Amino acid sequence: MTLATVFCTLAAIGLVAVGVLALLSPQRLARSYGVEVEESSSYVYVRAAGVRDLILGAILGAASYTGDSIALLFLCALGVILSLADFTLAFTFTRRMRSELVSHLGGAVGFIVIIILLLQTLRR
């Protein structure tokens, strides 16, 4: 198991945890996302984003288990895109930089680091 695979496994666990939190406590997850959810009808969208993270985490975990570097590269690229999209959506809504939004940027940076590690592994 390479360092990149370990980081992918940790990212997968984190994504699954976020997905479970979205399903069980959408209001709390929305707050940590950077946007307050005031109407209970909005919980469906928070839960949908949580299901997205849960599925991505499960697939990332499976690819980590098999050690498929090409699949991991693709999934991490999706992770970068989703993290930046989440940041953009939350920032556009709030119109100000909040500490909660840093987690989205941190996710993008984390996935970029993993991509670099995976590319180094593939060069060997």
pLDDT, tens digit, 9 for 90 and up, residues 43-58: 898 999 999 999 999 9
Q: How confident is residue 15, by pLDDT bands cut at 50, 70 and 90? A: very high
Q: What is the mean pLDDT of residues 73-86?
A: 96
Question: What is the structure's pLDDT at 65?
Answer: 97
Rounded (5°) CA angle 24-35-12: 50
Q: What is the mean pLDDT of residues 66-77?
A: 96
**Which residue range forms the structural domain that includes residue 14?**
3-123
Number of domains comprising the chain: 1
C-beta of residue 51 within 8 angstroms of C-beta of residue 59: no
Please give the full DSSP string across 99-122, using - where no structure is assigned: GGGHHHHHHHHHHHHHHHHHHHHH
